[in-house]
Structure 1
Amino acid sequence: MANSLLRIGVAGCGQAARIHVERLLKESDVQIVGCADAVKESAESLAEAIAAAGGSKPATFVEFRGLLDQRPDAVAIFTPHLLHYRQAMDALQAGVHVFIEKPLSTNAQEAHDVVSLARGRRLKVAVGHQFRLRPSLAEARKRLAAGAVGPLRLVTATLAQPWLARQQERGSESSWRFDPKMAGGGLLADAGDHLVDALLWTTGRTALEVFAVQSRLDSGLDVVTAATIRLQGDVPATLALSGVSQGTLFELNFFGEQGRIHATDSLLEIDPGDGSPPRRVDLPDEAPSIDADFVAALRGLGPLSCSAEDALETVRLSEAVARSAATGQVVPLV
């Protein structure tokens, strides 16, 4: 596969798929061979956009099985969250590699099933936790592992954005994102999944237990989530998500005995804690795309930045946060 044409099918043909497909088509020897969407017009529209960009027009389907009949090397899944599990399992059983936009699944048991089947079939499953490729977070992870601020004592992770208003403005295409019956959750399962993964990945620690509360709409949709998490090594962490903010914020703070690391999605600062001002760390201007990372891994040029096995811990923690908020109890993860 290293020097041959890579044939990819796309499931779910909305705006997210268009962004990822544009990146995929920038990679050499990649062909989109099929587009599937329950809304036929969406599949046709994406196929026409691919043809207009200079590629051959892919076949279109309203059923996921049609993609697998094209015998692609891989499928990229951008469908609503509740469909991820079944489509990933069908693809793996057909001997096809998989890229899944986050989250991997809506519950830990399904995520574990995907991991087990991929391992048994020796197939790759990548999950779209693209924040792992942000230079700021990658550098924070490296410095934490090197003990740059001494023993870690506290982590705070915060996400705030006008999520609900933005989803409602987008109309029917994204309505499943804020319908708890369709999406399997609201902010936590959607944009919040990036923050949960970033918390675990940068610290390199698993979560041991969690207590959480949520503020919900009458429909059951979560719009604010707050959680206290005990990480491996008895490091406490706080997680705060708001989907009704006027502005946007994504940040993590790592407090050690010898200073603090402050990271956002685009910058990194080191505060030595001695009264001197924080120092901003120079970072590369651009990061590789999660799509280029997937293609490179399929060609044997490196590991996946986030495999299904990696993402399993994120699913487990997100599920535990939701369960704790629903029951009002501390939920253990071990």
Structure 2
Amino acid sequence: MSKLRVAVIGCGAISKHRHIPEYAANPHVELVAFCDPVQERAKHYAGQYGAKAYTDYETLLREVKPDAVSVCTPNALHAPVSIAAAKAGAHVLVEKPMAATEEEALAMIEAAKENGVYLMVGHNQRLMPHHMKAKQILNAGALGKVLTFRTSFGHPGPESWSVDGRDSWFFRKDEAIMGAMGDLGVHKSDLIRWLLDDEVADVAGFIGTLDKAGTDVDDNAACVLRMKSGIIGTLVASWTYYQGGDNGTVLWCENGIMKIDTHPDDQIIVELRNGSIERHKVGAIATNEKQTASGVIDAFVESIVTKTPPSISGEEGMRSLKVILAAFESQATGQVVRL
């Protein structure tokens, strides 16, 4: 079969480290176009892969007519670019948070449906080997029912990661819409929903800008969540973990505890009340310093090739986004927000 013709829109850090190399490594894919407002960036990758370079995504979609696109733009553009791509007949993989509002997310889902294309959201935490193993252990049942949890994602902030450093769009509210919560918190709302196979019912959020000077996007958030099943827990997102990042999740269950990514060598530790301890080494987690394949690009390509709707669908992305939006509403109103 002929290769999938893929365009990457937005050539910043996430494209550089994940999307572009992972597409290049996939035998089903031909990279045909790159788009970025900074022309040199698009030209750099176009030269590398024998593709076309654009500064305007609408021109790219019209002239190249790609089979699929990755939307790796600032958050404010996720919805308009995704909708334009779907209308141009391209399958869409959009970075998280998928949109700025629930209305935008719904419009993206609708555009994909109307044009018979897939919409997938880049929530890579579900596909990380230790999270897949954790879900398997939970489902096996030895731990019994999950009672409480904490899930956290923190690092020193996007200035060390973004191609533009401290001048990154991540710090400009009109482009970023939200800070640490959109960057990291939404990963964790997605992970906990998927891991527990449960939806968030109530959210209380404390969100602020504590240390990043000159920006009005949030750099820290601590949220209390109650799930539909009654499980309660905390979700934390931070851009000020200047020493020792955290991407850990702990589940306290009827029969013991599961610690995920809290130990440098053993990605999962299960301690049962009967005294038994299991340690699992299931591959290191991807970090900004040390990239590992995300699995997202391969899953997206496989969806298209096998004509199977993606499991991390637009609807799933929207449910995870709504948790974060509810936390902002809670911060603004001082109330617990019911989803």
Shared topology, TM-score over 0.5?
Answer: yes
Residue identity opposite 1:251 in structure 2: G
Deviation at 1:15, TM superposition (A): 2.5
Structure 1 residues not aligned, in runs of 5+: 51-56
Q: Does 1:49 align with 2:42?
A: no
Q: Deviations over 1:195-251 (max 9, x none)?
A: 221111111111111011123156322111001111011111111122111111111
Deviation at 1:270, TM superposition (A): 0.8
Deviation at 1:24, TM superposition (A): 0.5
Q: Does 1:180 align with 2:173?
A: yes
Q: Does 1:6 align with 2:12?
A: no
Name 1:222's counterpart in structure 2: 218
Q: 1:232 to 1:167 in 2, by over 3 A?
A: same
Q: Is the 8 A contact 1:102 1:129 kept in 2?
A: yes
* Structure 1 Cα separation of the partners of residues 31 and 158 of structure 2: 32
Q: Deviations over 1:106-151 (max 9, x none)?
A: 2222112212222333311111111111111112122323433112
Q: Is the 8 A contact 2:158 2:170 kept in 1?
A: no
Name 1:135's counterpart in structure 2: 129
Residue identity opposite 1:221 in structure 2: V
* Structure 1 Cα separation of the partners of residues 15 and 159 of structure 2: 22
* Structure 2 Cα separation of the partners of residues 65 and 164 of structure 1: 28
Deviation at 1:86, TM superposition (A): 0.4
Matched residue SS, 1:226: strand
* Structure 2 Cα separation of the partners of residues 224 and 279 of structure 1: 33
Count of residues in correspondence between the two structures:
323
Q: Is the 8 A contact 2:222 2:237 kept in 1?
A: yes
2:117 to 111, 117, 123: 123
Q: Is the 8 A contact 1:167 1:175 kept in 2?
A: no
Measured on the aligned residues, the alpha-carbon RMSD in Å equals 2.2
Deviation at 1:191, TM superposition (A): 2.5
Q: Deviations over 1:51-95 (max 9, x none)?
A: xxxxxx211111111221211101111110000000111111121
* Structure 2 Cα separation of the partners of residues 72 and 241 of structure 1: 35
Aligned pairs (5 A) from 1:15-34: 15-19=13-17, 20-34=19-33
Aligned pairs (5 A) from 1:1-334: 3-19=1-17, 20-50=19-49, 57-69=50-62, 70-163=64-157, 166=160, 170-171=164-165, 175-217=168-210, 219-245=215-241, 246-264=243-261, 267-276=267-276, 278-283=277-282, 289-300=295-306, 303-333=309-339
Q: Is the 8 A contact 1:8 1:34 kept in 2?
A: yes
Deviation at 1:301, TM superposition (A): 6.8
Q: Is the 8 A contact 1:164 1:223 kept in 2?
A: no
Deviation at 1:273, TM superposition (A): 2.4
Q: Is the 8 A contact 2:13 2:162 kept in 1?
A: no
Q: Give the TM-score normalised by the residue count of structure 2.
A: 0.88
Q: Deviations over 1:290-311 (max 9, x none)?
A: 1111111110175524121221
* Structure 2 Cα separation of the partners of residues 46 and 168 of structure 1: 17
Runs of 4+ with deviation above 3 angstroms: 167-170, 284-288
Matched residue SS, 1:185: coil
* Structure 1 Cα separation of the partners of residues 83 and 47 of structure 2: 28
Q: Is the 8 A contact 1:141 1:204 kept in 2?
A: no
Q: Deviations over 1:178-199 (max 9, x none)?
A: 2223200111101232222111
Residue identity opposite 1:9 in structure 2: A
Structure 2 residues not aligned, in runs of 5+: 285-291
